[in-house]
Structure 1
Amino acid sequence: MHRLQDLLGLPILETETGTQIGPIKDVVLHIEEARVYGITIDEEKPNSFEMGIAYVDLLSIGRDAVMVRNHSVMHQCASIFEITSNYYVKELFKKEVITEDGLRLGILVDIFFDTSTGEMKWYQISDSLVSDLLYGRRIMPLPKIQIVGKDTVIVPGEMAKLLHKEE
């Protein structure tokens, strides 16, 4: 398992030339399919269009870098991501997670995913800074059904029972 938060800022390197394309600016998610769709690139010379790389074009995701074959895998984000059904990780982090019963579970601080498939597996939830220091953060499996709002993520009521301390 890998944390999405760890991807932000990692360099993207070409295996053919060893050239750095740029750091990862954000990660694009498809919530309904529970998978990572791709990454956006923080370019030194910004184009008028945001550039990205589809997840299937990433060769590997390591602790210190993300590897691609060459820069030809870069495309305009609008051409590779369905803008209407995707979310950027930075938009999701810091949203309150609330059950449909009205129970506040905490703040979404990270998402764990499988690097080989891009499948999102767990949400990492923080109750508060003090609680994190005393008891640690909690995790819960990714809900099959959820509503992502402007400030909140609404999950089924039974998710409260699945929330447990991170090992």
Structure 2
Amino acid sequence: MHRLQDLLGLPLLETETGTQIGQIKDVVLHIEEARVYGVTIDEEKQKAFEMGIAYVDLLSVGRDAVMVRNHSVMQQCAAIFEITSNYYVKELFKKEIITEDGLRLGILVDIFFDTSTGEMKWYQISDSLVSDLLYGRRIMPLPKIQIVGKDTVIVPGEMAKLLHKEE
């Protein structure tokens, strides 16, 4: 299981040439399908439009690099990602998670996912820096239903019972 936060800044390498063609700038998520939809690229040569790669076109996601066969899998983000139903990881992190009953669970700081499928599995939640240091962060399974707002993520009330300390 990998953390999405760990993908940010990783080099993107071509397996055909061994060349670094950019770095992972952000990760695009499809919340309703609970999966990673793709990545956006911070390229050496800046283009007029943002480039990205669909998750299915990534050969592998490793601890130290993300691999693609060649640069031809890069496309304009507008051509790959549906603008209305996707969220960027950097936009989601630091949102408050609140149950529909009005209980604050904490702040979303990371998401765990399966690298082979791109399926999102767990939210990592922080209460505060002091709480993180004293007790550690907590995790909860990804809710089946959630509302992502400008400042908050609203989850079903029963998610509070599923929140537990990260091991």
Shift of 1:142: 0.1
Q: Please state whether the residue corresponding to 2:47 is helix, strand or coil.
A: coil
Shift of 1:45: 2.5
Shift of 1:43: 1.6
For 2:48 and 2:143, the matched residues in 1 are separated by 36
For 1:126 and 1:79, the matched residues in 2 are separated by 35
Structure 2 alignment gaps of length 5 or more: none
For 2:43 and 2:74, the matched residues in 1 are separated by 11
For 2:33 and 2:46, the matched residues in 1 are separated by 30
For 2:72 and 2:46, the matched residues in 1 are separated by 17
Shift of 1:110: 0.1
Q: Is the 8 A contact 2:21 2:44 kept in 1?
A: no
- What CA deviation, in whole Å up to 9, does each residue of 1:7-57 have, x standing for no partner? 000000000000101110000000000000000001233211100000000
Please list, as runs of the form range in 1=range in 2, the aligned pairs for 1:106-145 lying within 5 A after superposition. 106-145=106-145
* Structure-2-length-normalised TM-score: 0.99
Structure 1 alignment gaps of length 5 or more: none
- What CA deviation, in whole Å up to 9, does each residue of 1:42-99 have, x standing for no partner? 1233211100000000000111000000000000000011111000000000000000
Tell me, yes or no, if structure 1 residue 28 matches structure 2 residue 40: no
Q: Is the 8 A contact 2:14 2:71 kept in 1?
A: yes
Computed over aligned residues only, the root mean square deviation of the Cα atoms, in angstroms, reads: 0.5
Give the number of aligned pairs: 167
Q: Percent identity?
A: 94
Q: Specify the alignment match of 2:86 in structure 1.
A: 86
For 2:45 and 2:31, the matched residues in 1 are separated by 30
Q: Please state whether the residue corresponding to 2:161 is helix, strand or coil.
A: helix
Q: Is the 8 A contact 2:59 2:67 kept in 1?
A: yes
Q: Please state whether the residue corresponding to 1:161 is helix, strand or coil.
A: helix
Shift of 1:162: 0.1
Q: Please state whether the residue corresponding to 2:84 is helix, strand or coil.
A: helix
For 1:40 and 1:59, the matched residues in 2 are separated by 15
Q: Please state whether the residue corresponding to 2:9 is helix, strand or coil.
A: coil
Displaced runs of 4+ in structure 1, greater than 2 A?
Answer: none
